Structure 1
Amino acid sequence: MDPAQVRAHGNVTNALIHLYRAEVGKMTAYRQRLDITTNWSVVTTTGLASFALGNPANSHVTFLFAMFLNYYFLRLEARRFRTYDVARQRVRMMEQHFYPDMLELGGDGAWHQALLAELARPRSGMGRYHALGWRLNRNYLWLYAAVLLAWLAKLDLGLPAGAPSVWALVDAAAIGRLSGAAVMTVVGSFYAALVGLGLWAAWHFPLEEG
């Protein structure tokens, strides 16, 4: 290898090292942003639950609003997770190929073409619904379960003393002219969709997050 090739090889190596450090830094930053979004959801849910349960006069609709806000945070977190996944793919690519090449352990010599294609057109390997389902499985199904239990407790606390029937609890979920049965149907369908999405994502995209 002549001096020009040595210099070129050294420049390529330095560029890849800097790229690796940058992508690891991006992974770390977006991992922190994921945690921040989850914290927003937890704090918001706790605050709304305290408000709704703290005074019998406060409406149970507060918990329905918490469900809506959590879905907003979930979508935001899923979008951030897809950006995190782009950096994660690049880091894994360099760990699997660049360092074996450097250590002469038989890496794939054509891997740099895949990296160039990825840099030219960055794209996450997971779809939007995969990301939503994955974040549901990691955090949000638990948050939604807590909101659901707190909502049912709020409805139960608002019933007259005695042993209320299930139908009385359903009737208590009414919102204005919207019947309790309709509200329960909408909430039940929403929760069924969330659980189904989580199961579907876990089955079709069993990602191991580092």
Structure 2
Amino acid sequence: MDVTPKDVPTALIHLYRGELGRMTMYRTRLDTTTNWAVGTSAALTTFALGQERAPHFVFLLAVFLDLIFLWMEIRRFRFYELVRMRVRLLEVGFYAVVMGKPPREGWEDALWKSLETPRSPIGRLQAASVRLRRNYLWLFGAVYLGWLVKLSFGHKGIVDNAAVGILPGAVVFCISLVLMVGLAILASIYKLPEEE
């Protein structure tokens, strides 16, 4: 296939439109996952706090489900960042020239490398950090707050009421605390370049 210099702008415009469409699709998929996490947490919290006989470990189920949604969102966010990087490369390279500005050096090579061997520009831990900070840490905090409220209604102390089956309340409480602190630390370790 012969590509003439006149074909290049048309091809780049179509690539830009296609990548922009993919970026929008991945953004929608991210929002859908977050909405499911929020809806599930809200439903389980409402059930657990609204029913006196509902066990407190319903909140632990909510935390488990939110961890699954977070895992799904990490994968989706990495794909989103890959497509967003391509869109940005086209904007700072091709469209910079269209607007009479100097293009960013090396944008064509970076774009080709991304198309030839697609790899997300961020790792799993980095994606987890970003999604936790933006959405999930707040969601986990709300679920844990609801859990503490439910535990405070029991006949014993909060820690003793946290018992699940043969696990003593202190063990369940410590595991939950370690998980929340670990998630908070993970949320703080990485920022996207535009957040710095």
The amino acid of 2:112's aligned partner reads L
Cα shift readout 1:137-177 (whole Å, capped 9, x = no counterpart)? 101111111101100111111226xxxxxxx2101100111
Q: CA RMSD of the aligned region, Å?
A: 1.7
Q: How many angstroms does 1:106 deviate by?
A: 2.8
Q: Which residue of 2 aligns with 1:163?
A: none
Give the structure 2 partner of residue 11 of structure 1: 7
Structure 2 residue 55 is matched with structure 1 residue 46: no
AA in 1 matched with 2:144 = L
Question: How many residue pairs get matched?
Answer: 194
Partner of residue 87, structure 2: 91
Q: Residue 152 and residue 96 in structure 1: after superposition, are their counterparts in 2 closer, same or farther (change >3 A)?
A: same
In 2, Cα distance between the equivalents of 1:19 and 1:126? 22
Once the two structures are TM-superposed, the CA of residue 39 in structure 1 deviates from its matched residue by 0.5
Gaps of 5+ in 2: none
Residue matched to 1:134: 130
* Aligned-residue offset at 1:104: 4.5
Report the CA distance shift for 1:172/1:206 in structure 2 as closer, same or farther (over 3 A): farther
Where does residue 55 of structure 1 map in the other structure? Answer: 51
Aligned to 1:182: 171
Residues 200, 109 of structure 1: CA spacing in aligned structure 2 closer, same or farther, 3 A cutoff?
closer
Of 174, 177, 191 in structure 1, the residue corresponding to residue 180 of structure 2 is 191
Q: Kindly report structure 1 stretches of 4+ aligned residues shifted beyond 2 Å.
A: 100-111, 205-208
Deviates more, 1:112-121 or 1:78-87: 112-121
Aligned ranges 1:134-153 → 2 under 5 Å: 134-153=130-149
1:112 and 2:112 are equivalent in the alignment: no
Choose from 142, 148, 160 the match for 1:171: 160
SS of match in other structure, 1:201: coil
User: Compared with structure 1, are the counterparts of its residues 54 and 108 closer, same or farther at alpha carbon in structure 2 (3 Å cutoff)?
Assistant: closer
- Correspondent of 1:77 among 73, 77, 80: 73
Paired residues of 1:81 and 1:131 also in contact (CA < 8 A): yes
TM-score (norm 2): 0.93
Larger gyration radius, structure 1 or structure 2: 1
- Relative to the length of structure 1, the TM-score reads 0.87
In the alignment, structure 1 segments of 5+ residues that lack a partner are 161-167
Distance of 1:127 and 1:142 partners within structure 2: 22
Measured against aligned partners, the alpha-carbon deviations of 1:153-209 in whole angstroms (never above 9, x if no partner) come to 11111226xxxxxxx21011001110000000100000010000001123xx4444x
